Every structure is written in C-alpha cells, then in structure tokens.
Amino acid sequence: MSTLKRKLFSGSTSAAISLSLALLASPLAAQNPVTSLTLSGQTITFPAPTAADYINGFVNTATGVTFTVNATSGNQSHTTTVSIRATSANLGGGKILADLQWRRSDLVTWNSITMVNAPVEARVVVRNGANDPWNNTIFFRMILNWATDPNATRSANYSITLSQTVP
C-alpha cells in the first residue's frame, strides 16, 4: 500500500473527500489551451525577372503562404502570435538575405526577412468564439538591382511559427 493510500485511509472521511475534490479540480483549472497552425503554399517560387521588374526594383511571387490558427482545446482566452524568420544566412549567388521581403496580405508595408523571429500577426483567441479560427496570407518579393544581381538561381529557407500566451 502506498503512503498516499495509508494517509487517506487513516484520515477522516471529510479530509479524504476534500483531497479528492482538490485533486480532481486541479487538472481542470490548469488545462492550457491547445492551438494548431496550418500552412498552405509553403514553397515560394519567383518568376524569372523581366526588364520591367528590374526597372521597378523588385519581383513578386504569384502566390503567398496562407496560415490558419485554430484553437483545438481549452476554453481559456489566450493570445496567439504567428512569426516568421529565415533559416538561411543568404539567398545564394552573393545576394543578401535582406533582399527577400515579406508582408501580410492586409498591409502594404514590406519587411526584410531576418534570422530572428518577427511577429507577423497576433490575436486574442477564445475557442469556438472570438478569432477562432483566424487566418491571413504572407506575400513575398525579391529586391532586384541591375548592377549587382546577375542571373542566378537563388534559394532560402524560412520558418513560420506559432506561439501562445495565457494571461
């Protein structure tokens, strides 16, 4: 017989009931929300730049990466944050990482990608309520320069992550 069982059997009935209620209530009160992140269109391909792209100074991808955030368990309000970062140090062919830029579909401001997580968007989520699920799309563009960008194949890897905080 374990020590815990001996203590329960030797104590009063009310103490055993109180302890049982405390043990049962703790997991329910401490249940943290679980949230999923789903991505579609993860591979980004740029078209071959045209003369007009070089004149404009950039080339855009035809599509973006769509992310969906979905609370799957727990009823607690929590903040979800989607972040992006590069996992490659450069774009190859002598092209610097900062020449790869991203923006949210609902914003006009472009951001150079870095190797440090940058918040894309954050929302407070309540499972089956406010902002559940929610989504957005990230678009990409490549900065171009006639003088420094010879024809070359370039590539980089990136990471999109989800974090959540419970108040």
Q: Work out the pLDDT band at 152, boundaries 50, 70, 90.
A: low
Statement: residue 16 has pLDDT above 50? no
Task: Give the closest residue to 79 by CA, choosing from 32, 117, 116, 111.
Answer: 32
Q: Work out the pLDDT band at 3, boundaries 50, 70, 90.
A: very low
Q: Which CATH number fits domain 33-165: 1.10.287, 3.40.50, 2.60.40, 1.10.1740?
A: 2.60.40
Neighbouring residues of 102: CB distance < 8 A, sequence distance ≥ 6: 84, 110, 111, 113, 120, 138, 139, 140, 141
Domain range list for the chain:
1-30, 33-165
* pLDDT tens-digit readout, 32-84: 788 999 999 878 888 888 899 999 999 999 899 999 999 988 888 899 999 99
For 5-9, 30-34, 130-134, 148-152, which range has the lowest pLDDT when averaged over its residues?
A: 5-9
Q: Classify residue 166 by burial, with Cβ atoms within 10 Å: 0-12, 13-18, 19+.
A: exposed
Report the pLDDT value the prediction gives residue 134, as an integer from 0 to 100. 94
Statement: residue 90 has pLDDT above 80? yes
Q: Dihedral sign, CA of 166, 110, 98, 140?
A: positive
Report the pLDDT value the prediction gives residue 114, as an integer from 0 to 100. 95
* pLDDT tens-digit readout, 101-117: 999 999 999 999 999 99
